[in-house]
Amino acid sequence: MQAATYQCPICLGRKLTLRYEAGYVYSYVIDSDAPGLKNHEEFLSFLYDKREQKDTRTYIECNQCGTQYPYTFLNGVLEEHQ
Ligand SMILES: [Zn+2]
């Protein structure tokens, strides 16, 4: 069985990148010192009290023309046909 190769149907470029994009909301409780229960002397953004993940998106992007495709297109649509 031959390994699949992928090609952008728009520009025929062969370099594609898979991207996983995620958004997070970090919460810091306001207390008597720096915001965040774990922050005392100074505010450090990685010492958060709560983190909620918002939208996530997985897509394939062509390195050459920048066209974005749904991740599921790896299953057939973007395969190189000879
Ligand atoms: Zn392209």
Average pLDDT, the chain: 93
Name every residue whose Cβ is closer than 8 Å to that of residue 53 and which is 6 or more positions away in sequence. Answer: 22, 23, 24
pLDDT in tens, 9-25: 999 999 999 999 999 99
The answer on pLDDT for 69 being more than 60 is yes
pLDDT of residue 66: 97
DSSP string, 1-48: -PPP-B--TTT----EEEEEEEEEEEE----SSSSSTT-SSS--TTS-
Domain ranges of the chain: 16-74
Going from the Cα of 11 to the center of ligand 1, the distance in angstroms, rounded, reads 4
Going from the Cα of 15 to the center of ligand 1, the distance in angstroms, rounded, reads 8
Give the whole-angstrom CA distance, residue 51 versus residue 35.
15
